[in-house]
Each structure stands twice: as C-alpha cells, then as structure tokens.
Amino acid sequence: MKRYGRAIVKWNGGNGALLCNHCMLIIDEGLDQNDVEHYCDECKSEGIDNWKDALTKKYAHMFAAGGYPAVGGGWRDLVERCLFRIEWARGDGVVRIHQIKEKFGGIRIYAGGKNAGDAGVCEAIDLAEMRSLCTCEDCGDEGRLYDRAGWYLTRCMRHAQGQPVVQKYPRLRVVTSWGDGGKRVTTCRSYDRELDVFVPAKFPADYNE
C-alpha cells in the first residue's frame, strides 16, 4: 500500500478507506489518495484548527526526519504530553520522530537519534501508548478497544464502532530487561489514567513469562 505522511488511509478489509484527520470518520474509499490533510464536512464547519502543523513547527528539531502525526484529534493531548516529556528528557541530546500513527487501536510513536533509547524518552512513549488504549481517538474521552470487522479502534461509548474487545489486563504493562551480569529482570506496572503515570503492580496469578 502507498505510504502516507499526512493523509490517514486504512486498509479496511482490502478496500481502503480515507479518514477525516480530526474525527477519523470515513470520508472516501480507495487506497490511492492525495497525501494531504482531509476533513469531513462537519469538522470543516466547526473550523478545526490544524494542531498537527502547529505541533511539528513547535518541535521542528524533532520532526526534521518527517513523522507527521497521522492520528485523530482525540489523541492530540497525549501526543503533546509525549513530545513535552521527550523534550525535557532529551536535554541537549538528539531525538528524531520518524512516525506517529495508529496501529491495532493504539498509538505508535517511532523515534530515532542518539538519545532515543534514553530511559526518560522511552517512558514518555510508553505512557502515550498506554493512554491511547483507554482514550477515544475521536474526542479524547475515556474509552476502550473495539473491533469493527477486524479493524481495531479505541473509542468512548458515544463514538463506539463495532464490538467491544475483551482484554484480560488492559492497563497492565510487563517489561523484561537485562540487568547487571546478564540477569533477566521482569517488572509489572499498571497505568493510572487519572494521574497519567505508571504505578507498581503485582503480577497476575495466572501470568506466565
């Protein structure tokens, strides 16, 4: 499929669908679309400002390699939070945003540069990804994962599409790393949406590495 930097085009069962850049409503079919911002009539009438251009200009040094945000307006706040945290964490270091997109209902933020692997940068991206999985991509309210004919979306009840996806541990993050002497270290944390932080959590009784 053609790669897009500004237009939001989904596979949608092989037919292809062009989405509104703000509310993610399907506004056209087909995989071959112009790679520009597209908005539905309702969003145009509401005078939706182009927050993505403003954000990429504010953090132009991070977007030198592209990375234009291809996500709905409901995730604006979490993208802004993520970039602010990255800016603070990198200090005088170098971080380049290569891509910001939706995948399997959650946000994906791909970064490179000398300091992209720093702990603070990784934490900022992890927090954004976890918040996206409980935040409606359409309006920003608290949401959950839905399955619309194989297309996963995170939506609130008002903007729900498809059937709710049953998730065993929706806000749990288990990370395995390697400590001193090659020792394997596995941590378990839970995401607190109200505070927008990870908090220590116990491993589920049925958890298997």
For residue 35, what pLDDT band results from cuts at 50, 70 and 90?
Answer: confident
Determine the structural domain holding residue 185 and report its residue range: 168-209
- Shared domain check, 56 and 22: no
Same domain (yes/no): 25, 56: no
- Whether the pLDDT of residue 209 is over 90: the answer is no
110/79 same-domain check? yes
DSSP string, 78-104: HHHHHHHHHHHHHTTS--EEEEEEEET
CB count in 10 Å sphere of residue 163: 10
31 and 125 assigned to the same domain: no
* Whether residue 205 sits in one domain with residue 108: no
Domain match, 71 and 136 both: yes
C-alpha to C-alpha distance for 82 and 79, rounded to whole angstroms: 5
Distance CA 30, CA 17 (A): 6
Is residue 134 pLDDT above 90, yes or no? yes
Residues 55 and 74 in one domain: yes
What per-residue confidence (pLDDT) applies to 48? 65
* Pair (107, 182) in one structural domain: no
Please report where in the chains the tokens 């112009």 appear, as a residue: 34
Statement: the pTM of the whole predicted model exceeds 0.85: no
Contact criterion met (CB below 8 Å) for 167 and 142: no
* 33 and 74 inside one domain: no
Separation between Cα atoms, residue 35 and residue 22, nearest integer Å: 15
| pLDDT score of 117 | 93
**How many helices, marked H, and strands, marked E, lie in the chain?**
4, 12
Asked if residue 150 and residue 77 are part of one domain, the reply reads yes
Instruction: Look up residue 135 and give its DSSP letter.
Output: B
Cβ atoms 191, 171 nearer than 8 A? yes
Residues 177 and 158 in one domain: no
Looking at the 3D structure of the chain, how many domains does it have?
Answer: 3
- 139: pLDDT strictly greater than 80: yes
> Token digits for 22?
């703000």
pLDDT at 122: 94
Structure tokens at 99: 């891509």
200 and 149 in one domain?
no
